[in-house]
Amino acid sequence: MYRQSFPSRNSVCQTHWCQLLLLAVLAMVGCGASNATNSRLGENSAGPHGFRYKIVTTCGMVTDIVRQVAGEHAEVIGLMGEGVDPHLYKPTRDDVQQLMQADIIFYSGLMLEGRMSDTFAKVARGGKPVYAVTERIDEAYLLEPPELAGHWDPHVWMDVSAWSQCVSLVATALVEFDPTHSEDYTRNAEEYRSELKQLHQYVQQVIASIPEPQRVLVTAHDAFGYFSRAYGIEVRAPQGISTESEPSVEDVNRLVDFIVSQKIRAIFVESSVNPKSIEAVIEGAASRGHEISVGGELFSDAMGASGTYEGTYIGMLDHNSTTIARALGGNVPEGGFQNTRGESPSP
């Protein structure tokens, strides 16, 4: 005969207190887990794992386009801030930790972040998705300057139409990583590329307004090759594409000869490059009786301060093209592209 046994009153109490204690512990753990999860959650923005996932990027130009496409669904952390030269940048211990903790990583590529190559390779070997945003640009489009000995010029963002192609790669990568929000990524990319198309037309317009004899851009280092080709302006610089080597005396003198012979009146410094080479050019021209003014500061390898208009990719290119055109005698709308966004640029 089966006999059901019943626990004693003491054992019931012990069991009851154990259950209460267990519930209390679970509640504490649950609160901690909930707080940890909620710290990564945005309203209606859960990613593929139920929380806002983490994207780590390198230079500001990459960071900005990734933020535009990812929208609310990801936390985007840029490693390189205002005024940082990516050619010379070495990852810190904190950078490596951020990369290891990232869910997905984007960098520019074409050896721009050359000193980070080993770190990217190590992270990728661990199975983490790592993308160079320039990797799908047709090689036939890329510039291959003699000084780089077989490497491409990495400054693709200086041509807005080319950088717009990188937006598409970011969208494709995010759709693959987080298909739940594929419509959002696709829509964000399309809207952003539409705005970049307008920006490209604006830059073409204002640079073309510079009188042809004055359409020469002299900057600290040769980061404007794609800008030159896309917008029809000659570019000269005392320093090469990479900032790792200093310009020689011969380089400076050669540029001074050109400036004096062409009667160029304005040259430009760069926010992320030491201005001493430009100062040497100004002094060299002055010694020959030719005065040059600084037409303004341009953003080449880094954008402006975070939270400012110039701290966005659109603001960076608007600032550069507007500053160049004004200093060289072009016809520039008051307020530049910023005040004409959404309008159709004049032909």
Beta-bridged to residue 221, according to DSSP, are: 239
Element (H, E) at 200: helix 182-208
CA angle in degrees (0–180, nearest 5) for 330-331-334: 125
pLDDT at 24 over 90: no
SS3 content of the chain, % helix, strand, coil (to 5): 50, 10, 40
336: left (phi over 0), alpha (psi -120 to 50) or beta: left
Least confident of 85-99, 107-121, 268-282, 315-329: 268-282
Tell which residue, 157, 204, 162, 197, has the closest CA to residue 321: 204
CA pair distance 38, 41, nearest whole angstrom: 5
Least confident of 133-147, 189-203, 320-334: 133-147
Beta carbons of 298 and 271 less than 8 angstroms apart: yes
pLDDT bracket for residue 298 (50, 70, 90) = very high
Beta carbons within 8 Å of 278's beta carbon, 6+ residues apart: 219, 220, 238, 267, 268, 269, 294
The dihedral over CA atoms of 329, 335, 338, 343, expressed in degrees to the nearest 10, equals -90
CA pair distance 24, 201, nearest whole angstrom: 63
Return the structure tokens found at 12.
């019931």
CA pair distance 88, 244, nearest whole angstrom: 7
The two domains 53-200 and 211-339 share their CATH topology (first three levels equal): yes
- Report CA Rg, the chain: 27
Beta carbons within 8 Å of 272's beta carbon, 6+ residues apart: 83, 84, 85, 299, 300, 301, 302
Q: What is the DSSP string of 206-233?
A: HHHTS-GGG-EEE-SBS--HHHHHHHT-
The domain segmentation of the chain, as residue ranges, is: 53-200, 211-339
Beta carbons of 268 and 296 less than 8 angstroms apart: yes
Give me the pLDDT at residue 245, please.
57
Give me the pLDDT at residue 96, please.
92
Beta carbons of 228 and 145 less than 8 angstroms apart: no
pLDDT at 131 over 90: yes
pLDDT per residue as tens digits for the range 90-113: 899 999 999 999 999 999 999 999
Looking at 208-321, which runs of residues are DSSP E strands? 216-218, 234-236, 266-270, 293-298
Beta-bridged to residue 297, according to DSSP, are: 269
pLDDT bracket for residue 255 (50, 70, 90) = confident
Average pLDDT over residues 250-256: 86
CATH no., domain 53-200: 3.40.50.1980
pLDDT at 288 over 50: yes
Give me the pLDDT at residue 244, please.
52
pLDDT per residue as tens digits for the range 187-216: 999 999 999 999 999 999 999 999 999 999
CA pair distance 58, 60, nearest whole angstrom: 7
Beta-bridged to residue 78, according to DSSP, are: 57
Beta carbons within 8 Å of 94's beta carbon, 6+ residues apart: none
Burial of residue 258, with CB atoms counted within 10 A of its CB: 0-12 exposed, 13-18 middle, 19 or more buried: middle
Beta-bridged to residue 53, according to DSSP, are: 74
Side-chain half-sphere exposure of 326, counting CA atoms within 13 A:
17
* Cα→Cα distances 236→48, 76, 103, Å: 48, 35, 41
Beta carbons of 301 and 155 less than 8 angstroms apart: yes
Domain 211-339 bears CATH identifier 3.40.50.1980: yes
